[in-house]
């Protein structure tokens, strides 16, 4: 859990016991400490200690002054002298314990706090700190026992409620804790500190759902508070609310883009959500900023391994093990990575070492079996047996043992394992492919075709699976379908080695500008060294389009056509040109791709390209050739645009309705339709579409904002503002909503409120120069026309989806 530590003030401890000392120097020092002038207090107290070197009061206060200035090493000696001078003073030991805590010596602090309560059993500071230390060690009952020592009036202190709640949950007193949380929820609704503190306590107790509620409450009070954003993101991640976690953590990242905790937590969210490549980019940046962070190195090793960047994974495991040399599991994973890289001797050595030390670890036996399989299949089989004896539902071990039996020419023995693997992981295309081959070996062509169809659907670009499917279909008597699968195999070509070369992490740790320049150098070298590689030329084409070099891109498009590549390559190039608005060139490539492979999705893309290049009549003609079975939302949205361009608004509206029908209405379609209608200035249509969108997707913030902007455009400002306020309450970290609200307020002359909203937007990462300039002008009282909200939102809706 990321947080800013909150310590009890040491001053509340020393003042009560030392204020009675009416020496002028002590009173002067206490006054300086109370007002936070620690340097002045130090000067006064040094003089006092020089005059009275054994004065416990002067020494302990000097220690406090030094602690507050982070002069911890010098303070240690002063506190020790104070304790020697006043061994029976609870205040002196309290301050010494506080110093130990600030210095990171929790065990030392614990011992000294126990001395305090031996001298003064009801000491507020010592008992509360002992309770906090007990909670950190997950000793809830012990923490409650310390809190029970406080006076009755102190026990009811609101400041202690979060600590008591955490202790109650740890002590398995969930009902009492829950009742206290419920009362606190209402009491803290308008109190940022109280909501935040309870959120931290609940998160530490593992009650993430309730913690998320309190942090959400805190964010509504302080939408741009960095600590609230980060903690809310972390608990949302633990709750499995990955989209919400990403939203608030990205808001925090916009404030502090170099914060390693934020980068790491965002990577954890993306890793959990299956966005491995995005996670890797964040981790590479975090590792560059903080190479000593073992948690970053560990997740970096896991993520690079998942992506197949084995050299980078091995390097990350090595760095991690230097930081955490006693992590046996990490050594196991380093060994498995070495095996995957072909470094068998090194890999087997690590894996055997781990299996010997951890004979009850199923993963260790499985990974050792996989490594042994190269030279010793019998020993590999024994290791798989051991793994499955320890964990009977270990899908990967079933798949590996089944595959090994199949390779040994024992399909009957393989079948049970591969069927078990497919049952445990029904979406694992590799296991399904192996199972299909096994069925074929057993002359069960129908069963083979069934599972291979599913495998091919899961991995449509895997040519090997397509080939296996074609053979199974042929054996099953499905000649036409077999022919189609074989054609797909020919189009895809041989299996491409997807291993990622080393250096990926170094590459991702570069700045975006350095990364882009490096990427361009690599691509240009690739096409220079392999002039007949059409797929490489497509990569170069995309790069040129992204960098705004249309003339050069057109030249490369011509070169791709001249190479006469497979239809799939032509289609990729054509779609890249279409997305970049290079419609004539896109038409040329898509026509050639469609001529050899008339897939329905190609026909739609071709029709859109022709519409923009040659006009709505020709585009509509091609659109009419798309088969009924392929006419989804994208088709009808394109039809609506073409009909509108043809001057046929009635039929365009009907097509729009079909595009947004409940069975097809996706968020992206609603937003694209809304953006189109906003550009056309069709306010009533935007109102209708946004109303339907809100009913279909009431939790989509972009759709809700589209509705609010439509209401404002229809002069229904009060409704628009109410809806935007609802959006802000639900997603207070979203800068676009604050910017929209500020523009609406400014447009109606509420400049003070507009400034407040726009400042919040900027604090949350709003980077539009137009919005910032508007804020700057109205902040000085100057008149300024607000940005065009409909145009601004239209552009953002398209870029967001």
Please determine, for residue 325, whether its predicted confidence score (pLDDT) is greater than 80. yes
The one-character DSSP state at 35 is T
The residue count for the chain: 801
Phi-psi label, residue 784: left if phi above 0, alpha if psi -120 to 50, beta otherwise: beta
What is this structure's pTM? 0.76
pLDDT above 90 (res 602): no
Distance of CA 754 to the CA centre of its chain: 32
Which residue among 205, 236, 253 closes a domain? 253
Cα 202 from Cα 208, distance rounded (Å): 7
Helical H runs in 493-566? 504-508, 512-529, 534-546, 550-562
Q: Which pLDDT does position 594 carry in this prediction?
A: 87
Q: What are phi and psi of 567, to 5 degrees?
A: -60, -35
pLDDT tens-digit series, residues 552-581: 999 999 999 999 998 889 999 999 999 999
Same domain membership, residue 93 and residue 13: yes
681: left (phi over 0), alpha (psi -120 to 50) or beta: left
The CATH number of whichever domain residue 235 belongs to comes to 1.25.40.10
Judge if 217 and 110 occupy the same domain.
no
Q: Summarize pLDDT for 703-758 with one digit per residue, the tens.
A: 999 999 999 999 999 999 999 999 998 999 999 999 999 999 999 999 999 999 99
pLDDT in tens, 764-775: 989 889 999 999
Residue 541 is assigned to a structural domain of this protein: no
Q: Would you say residue 504 lies in a domain?
A: no
pLDDT band at 490 (very low <50, low <70, confident <90, very high): confident
Whether 197 maps to a domain, the answer reads yes
Do 194 and 116 share a structural domain? no
CB 96 within 8 A of CB 83: yes
Specify burial of residue 548 (Cβ count, 10 A radius: 0-12, 13-18, 19+): exposed
Same domain, 23 and 112: yes
Q: How many domains does the chain have?
A: 2
Same domain? 88 vs 194: no
Closest among 107, 157, 90 to 128, alpha carbons compared: 157
Instruction: Domain of residue 213: give its range.
Output: 188-253
Mean pLDDT of the chain: 90
Are 14 and 89 in contact by the 8 Å Cβ rule? The answer is: no
pLDDT of 57 reads 92
Residues 79, 194, single domain; the answer is: no
Where does a domain end: 236, 253, 270?
253
Final residue before a domain boundary, out of 215, 230, 253: 253
User: 103 and 10 in one domain?
Assistant: yes
pLDDT band at 498 (very low <50, low <70, confident <90, very high): low
CA–CA gap between residue 121 and residue 127 (Å, rounded): 8
Residue 74 placed within a domain: yes
Q: What is the pLDDT of residues 209-250, one digit of tens each?
A: 999 999 999 999 999 999 999 999 999 999 999 999 999 999
């Amino acid at each position: 859990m990321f947080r800013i530590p909150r310590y009890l003030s040491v001053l509340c401890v020393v003042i009560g016991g030392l204020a009675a000392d009416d020496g002028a120097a002590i009173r002067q020092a206490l006054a300086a400490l109370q007002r936070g002038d620690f340097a002045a207090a130090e000067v006064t107290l040094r003089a006092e200690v020089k005059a009275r070197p054994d004065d416990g009061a002067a020494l302990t206060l000097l220690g406090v002054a030094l602690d507050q200035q982070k002069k911890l090493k010098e303070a240690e000696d002063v506190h020790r002298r104070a304790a020697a001078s006043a061994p029976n003073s609870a205040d002196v030991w309290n301050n010494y314990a506080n110093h130990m805590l600030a210095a990171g010596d929790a065990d030392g602090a614990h011992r000294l706090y126990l001395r305090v309560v031996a001298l003064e059993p009801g000491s507020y500071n010592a008992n509360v700190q002992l309770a906090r230390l007990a909670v950190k060690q997950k000793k809830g009952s012990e923490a409650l026992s310390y809190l029970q020592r406080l006076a009755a009036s102190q026990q009811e202190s609101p400041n202690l409620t979060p600590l008591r709640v955490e202790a109650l949950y740890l002590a398995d007193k969930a009902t009492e804790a829950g009742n206290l949380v419920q009362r606190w929820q209402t009491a803290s609704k308008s109190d940022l500190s109280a909501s935040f503190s309870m959120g931290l306590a609940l998160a530490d107790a593992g009650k993430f759902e309730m913690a998320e509620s309190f942090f959400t409450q805190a964010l509504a009070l302080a939408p741009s508070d960095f600590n609230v954003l980060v903690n809310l993101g972390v608990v949302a991640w633990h709750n499995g609310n990955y989209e919400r976690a990403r939203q608030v953590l990205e808001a925090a990242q916009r404030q502090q883009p170099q914060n390693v905790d934020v980068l790491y937590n965002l990577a954890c969210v993306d890793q959990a959500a299956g966005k491995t490549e995005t996670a890797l980019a964040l981790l590479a940046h975090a590792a560059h900023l903080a190479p000593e962070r073992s948690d970053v190195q560990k997740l970096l090793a896991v993520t690079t391994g998942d992506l197949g960047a084995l050299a980078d994974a091995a390097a990350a495991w090595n760095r991690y093990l230097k930081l955490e040399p006693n992590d046996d599991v990490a050594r196991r994973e380093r060994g498995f990575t070495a095996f995957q890289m072909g470094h068998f001797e090194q890999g087997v050595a690590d894996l055997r070492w781990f299996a010997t030390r951890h004979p009850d670890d199923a993963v260790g036996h499985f990974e050792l079996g996989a490594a042994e399989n190269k030279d010793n299949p019998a020993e590999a089989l024994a290791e798989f047996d051991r793994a499955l004896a320890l964990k009977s539902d270990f899908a990967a071990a079933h798949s590996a043992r089944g595959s090994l039996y199949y390779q040994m020419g024992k399909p009957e023995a393989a079948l049970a394992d591969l069927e078990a693997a497919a049952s445990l992981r029904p979406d694992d295309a590799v296991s399904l492919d192996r199972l299909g081959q096994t069925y074929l070996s057993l002359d069960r062509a129908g069963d083979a075709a069934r599972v291979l169809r599913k495998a091919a659907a899961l991995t449509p670009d895997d040519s090997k699976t397509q080939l296996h499917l074609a053979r199974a279909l042929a054996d099953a008597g499905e000649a036409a379908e077999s022919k189609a699968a074989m054609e797909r195999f020919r189009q895809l070509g041989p299996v491409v080695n997807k291993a990622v070369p080393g250096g990926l992490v170094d590459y991702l740790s570069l700045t975006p500008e350095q990364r882009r320049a490096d990427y361009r150098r690599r691509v240009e070298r690739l096409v220079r060294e392999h002039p007949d590689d059409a797929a490489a030329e497509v990569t170069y084409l995309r790069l040129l389009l992204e960098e705004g070099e249309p003339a050069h891109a057109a030249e490369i498009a011509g070169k791709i056509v001249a190479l006469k590549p497979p239809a799939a390559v032509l289609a990729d190039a054509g779609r890249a040109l279409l997305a970049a608005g290079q419609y004539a060139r896109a038409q040329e490539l898509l026509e050639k791709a469609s001529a050899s492979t008339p897939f329905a999705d190609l026909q739609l893309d071709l029709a859109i390209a022709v519409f923009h290049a040659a006009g709505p009549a020709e585009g509509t003609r091609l659109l009419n050739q798309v088969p009924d079975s392929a006419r989804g939302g994208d088709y009808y949205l394109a039809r609506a645009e073409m009909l509108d361009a043809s001057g046929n608004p009635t039929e365009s509206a009907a097509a729009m309705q079909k595009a947004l029908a409940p069975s097809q209405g996706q968020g992206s379609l609603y937003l694209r339709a809304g953006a189109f209608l906003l550009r056309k200035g069709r306010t009533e249509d935007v109102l209708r579409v946004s109303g339907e969108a809100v009913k279909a997707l009431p939790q989509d913030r972009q759709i809700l904002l589209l509705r609010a902007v439509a209401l404002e455009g229809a002069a229904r400002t009060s409704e628009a503002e109410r809806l935007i306020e609802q959006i802000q309450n639900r997603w207070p970290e979203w800068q676009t909503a604050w910017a929209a609200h500020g523009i609406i307020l400014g447009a109606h002359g509420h400049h003070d409120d507009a400034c407040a909203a726009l400042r919040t937007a900027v604090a949350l990462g709003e980077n539009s120069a137009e919005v910032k300039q508007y804020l700057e002008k109205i902040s000085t009282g100057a008149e300024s026309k607000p940005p065009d909200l409909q145009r601004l939102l239209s552009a953002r809706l398209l870029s967001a989806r």
